[in-house]
A and B are shown apart, each in its own frame.
Chain A
Amino acid sequence: MIEDLLLGVFAGTAAISAVAMLVARHPMRVAIALITCMLALAGIYALLGVHVIAIFQVLIYVGAVMVFIVYVIMLIDVRDSAYARRYSWMLVPGIVVAVALAAVIADAMWRGAAAPAGPAGATYGVQAFSEAFLNEYWLYFELVSVLLVAAVVAAISVVKLGIGRRG
């Protein structure tokens, strides 16, 4: 009972902060709304019993990605023309297309066959996850490390490109 209540609270928080992202003017407020949404999603994952994903959601998304974005917002002067005028001319068509898209996806999901249920209430701690990850999916683990190295090299080369062009 208390779990259902908490699930509703977290789902409501996520939905409200997603809407707040669309109406907030300052990018820092958008970032704070996104952090709230991600933390609510981490709570939902923890309630579902997928503890390892809840931890990674907080560590990777909130701890690394959003801190990075907040840092960049502080670096950049945000009060330019995009600050004065929030929305582009795509406002009405964008909302119409998004509502249609959500309706089509929801309709397809509700008409499709129900997903087969597995062992009810299965929880995923670090042990089950890391056994599957390092026994069956070790190749993907290695590929991910290559991907991260490539991303670091690409980021450095982009920054060097900017320095070279300036001077």
Chain B
Amino acid sequence: MDKTQLLVALGIALFAAGFVGVVIRRNALVMLMCMELMLNGVSLALVCFAQRMGATDGIVLVFLVFVVGAAEIAIAIPILLLLARTRLTLDVEAYADLKG
């Protein structure tokens, strides 16, 4: 198996595992970490293709994705802390009344 093929397959597997985690787990913090796993799988595929094509632009794009991911966590964690303070749980089924 080609090296790029192996790594793209790993990226797909990481994305799928993160997706499963977001859907099946009940802890909001664990769901957030699984979203990070999905993002890591996608950026692995992006790095692979950028390196294969010899494109510096792709590397810059990966860096920008990292920064946006860090900003996302910086917003998401205070929201989770706020939820945990008001309802005293991180179980997402306790927040089922949020749906319209």
A residues sitting closer than 8 Å to B (CB atoms) are 4, 7, 11, 14-15, 18-19, 21-22, 27, 30-31, 34, 37-38, 41, 44-45, 48-50, 52-53, 56-57, 60-61, 64-65, 68-69, 72-73, 75-76, 78, 80-83, 85-88, 90-91, 93-95, 97-99, 101-102, 105-106, 109, 115-119, 122, 124, 128-129, 132-133, 136-137, 140, 144, 147-148, 150-152, 154-155, 158-159, 161-162, 165-166
Tally of contact residues, B, Cβ under 8 A: 73
Name B19's closest neighbour in chain A (CB-CB): A98
* Contact call B12/A102, Cβ cutoff below 8 A: yes
Complex CA gap A113/B29 in Å reads 39
Residues of A contacting B73 in the complex (Cβ-Cβ under 8 angstroms): 65, 68-69
Contacts A73-B29, A115-B52, A129-B60 hold; do A152 and B74 have CB atoms under 8 A apart? yes
Residues of B contacting A93 in the complex (Cβ-Cβ under 8 angstroms): 23
Interface of A, secondary structure class, is: helix
Residues of A contacting B23 in the complex (Cβ-Cβ under 8 angstroms): 88, 90, 93-94, 97-98
* Contact call A115/B53, Cβ cutoff below 8 A: yes
* Contact call A101/B79, Cβ cutoff below 8 A: no
Complex CA gap A57/B63 in Å reads 9
Q: How many whole Å from A148's CB to the nearest CB in chain B? A: 6
Residues of A contacting B44 in the complex (Cβ-Cβ under 8 angstroms): 41, 44
* Contact call B77/A117, Cβ cutoff below 8 A: no
B residues sitting closer than 8 Å to A (CB atoms) are 3-4, 6-10, 12-21, 23-30, 32-34, 36-37, 40, 44, 47-57, 59-60, 62-64, 66-71, 73-75, 77-82, 84-86, 88-94
